Amino acid sequence: MPKFLLMVNHDGGEFEQPMDEWAPGDITAHFDYYAALTEELVASGEMVQFTGLADPRLARIVRSDGAAAPVVTDGPFPESKEVLAGFNVVDVESEARALEIAARISAVPGPGGVPTRQPVEVRQVMDAVAFDL
């Protein structure tokens, strides 16, 4: 079965308000939704990995030529909305199923229970078969 990487963008979707400004019940509902979806996908055998990432303001960028000491800088820039917030790796029957799961992730509730419509990028994971190895 093909594996897909479902990348959730840090973009708030329908909401400009950062999550740390949401009502506590809305934050709980948001994470409860993810927990229930993750539990369902684990039970079906489709979930390979789920990982949420820390705030992008805590990220660092490393550049190296392999000889000199690496250069480590803060990043990415906070005004960028195209920052990875988390990802899932799913092992599913088809791309259509991966898209269905991505749609459910995008519908995670935000303030007032309204779906966030966060963008979720779906990409197939390459394996040795793809390279004829």
Q: Which residues 6+ apart lie within 8 Å of 104 measured at CB?
A: 37
CA dist., res. 3 & res. 52, Å (int):
18
Residue whose tokens read 């992008």: 56
Count the Cβ atoms, other than its own, within 10 Å of residue 95.
12
- Domains in the chain: boundaries: 3-125
Q: Does the structural domain 3-125 have CATH classification 3.30.70.1060? A: yes
Count the Cβ atoms, other than its own, within 10 Å of residue 84.
15
Determine the straight-line distance between the first and last CA of the chain, rounded to whole angstroms. Answer: 17
State the amino acid at position 121 in one-letter form: E
Question: What's the confidence (pLDDT) of residue 81?
Answer: 59
Q: What is the pTM of this model?
A: 0.81
Low-confidence ranges of the chain (pLDDT < 70): 76-82, 128-133
